Amino acid sequence: MRAQELRELTTDDLQVRLRETRKEIFNLRQQWYNGSLEDSNRIRLVRKDMARILTILRERELVVELEQKGDAA
């Protein structure tokens, strides 16, 4: 999924998507260990999606922190 598409989602939706990607990575790794994984490139793609989601969530946290500091000053 592209970063722009992820930015359009709400924070709750991103957290749900993050849980789903973590479960998917777990399942893909299990398949890889068992030797039944057909597309080994899928692990890499899911890890990148997870990194994008984490980055966007962190960006939102930083925005909230900056807004709180701005109100306090």
- Cα–Cα dist 72/33, whole Å: 52
Q: Which residues contact 56 (CB under 8 A, 6 or more apart)?
A: 3, 6, 7, 14
Q: Which domains does the chain have, with CATH numbers?
A: 3-72 (1.10.287.310)
pTM: 0.88
Amino acid at 65: E
Walk along the chain (73 residues) and give the pLDDT tens digit of each residue.
788 999 999 999 999 999 999 999 999 999 999 999 999 999 999 999 999 999 999 999 999 999 998 877 6
DSSP letters for the chain: --HHHHHTS-HHHHHHHHHHHHHHHHHHHHHHHHT--S-THHHHHHHHHHHHHHHHHHHHHHHHHHHHHHHH-
